[in-house]
Amino acid sequence: MLLYAVVPPEAEAPALDGVCGHELETLRNSGAALVAEECDRQPEASRPTALRYYQIVDQLSRSASALPVRFPTVVSDRGEAVRELTRQAPQWRQRLDELHGLAEMVFRATWPDLTAAADAGQLAGSAYLRRRAAVVHATEQTANELEQRARRVCRDVRRLSATEGVRLACLAPRTAEPELRQVLGEWRREAAGREVTLAGPWPPFSFVDQQEAAGS
């Protein structure tokens, strides 16, 4: 069975076919429910399939609190899914309550110093190391600053890995998007060459776990 999301026990799976072409079903216990789909074959881990999975989870999250399950997670059979549900229902239920009404938005920020960092590859030895250290320091400072600013709007902020610049995930009500956009816009306008990309809102993929930072 392909697992989609954890939802409250009273929630209903939408009347949709899943990525394997079968109707979605809801496995319940008293604390939580798992939305899943019987799959005769292994679901293809392609971009269209991942986007279809996302759309289903997004639709679920608009009608009820939902914890998306990492894609593609397939358990061997219904019994395995029910055992997992039984084992994790208490903590899932708690997190569902905590995330009620909240969504995730992700933003990336870059600035001119980062462009200069690309030239560091032309440097040698200690000059290269000093340049890299300066970039790392500036990135850390910018991440801290943006995190602080984002917290004016976001209930929680988690750092995500980025190959360039800073990438942060914001947990906030969907309706807070204009406020976050404004906060990021202010940061962007304070210096030439700054860029920010905002994506979302979508289900809280990076916040399903209370303890574990998703930044990973």
* Contact positions vs other proteins (CB under 8 A): 3, 5-6, 42-48, 50-55, 58, 67-76, 80, 83-84, 88, 92, 104, 106, 108, 118, 120-121, 123-125, 128-129, 160-161, 163, 167, 169, 181-182, 184-186, 188-189, 196-202, 205-206, 208-209, 214, 216
- For other proteins, the closer of residues 176 and 196 by Cβ is 196
The residue whose two tokens read 């939580």 is 32
Q: Please, what is the minimum distance in Å from the beta carbon of residue 161 to other proteins?
A: 5
Q: Please, what is the minimum distance in Å from the beta carbon of residue 98 to other proteins?
A: 14
| CA 36 to chain centroid | 20
Q: Please, what is the minimum distance in Å from the beta carbon of residue 73 to other proteins?
A: 5
- For other proteins, the closer of residues 71 and 111 by Cβ is 71
d(CA 16, CA 35): 11
Q: Please, what is the minimum distance in Å from the beta carbon of residue 195 to other proteins?
A: 8
- For other proteins, the closer of residues 59 and 147 by Cβ is 59
- For other proteins, the closer of residues 129 and 191 by Cβ is 129
- For other proteins, the closer of residues 148 and 197 by Cβ is 197
Cβ-contact 2, 20 below 8 angstroms: yes
Does residue 197 come out as left (phi exceeding 0), alpha (psi in the -120 to 50 range) or beta?
A: beta
Q: Please, what is the minimum distance in Å from the beta carbon of residue 140 to other proteins?
A: 15
- For other proteins, the closer of residues 10 and 161 by Cβ is 161
Q: Which two tokens stand for residue 128?
A: 């290269």
The secondary structure of 32-62, three-state, reads: CEEEEECCCCCCCCCHHHHHHHHHHHHHHHH
Q: Please, what is the minimum distance in Å from the beta carbon of residue 112 to other proteins?
A: 16
Query: Cα 35–39–45 angle (5° rounding)?
Result: 90
Cβ-contact 149, 183 below 8 angstroms: yes
Cβ-contact 41, 20 below 8 angstroms: yes
Task: Tell me how long the chain is.
Answer: 216
Instruction: Give the other-Cβ count within 10 Å of 66's Cβ.
Output: 26
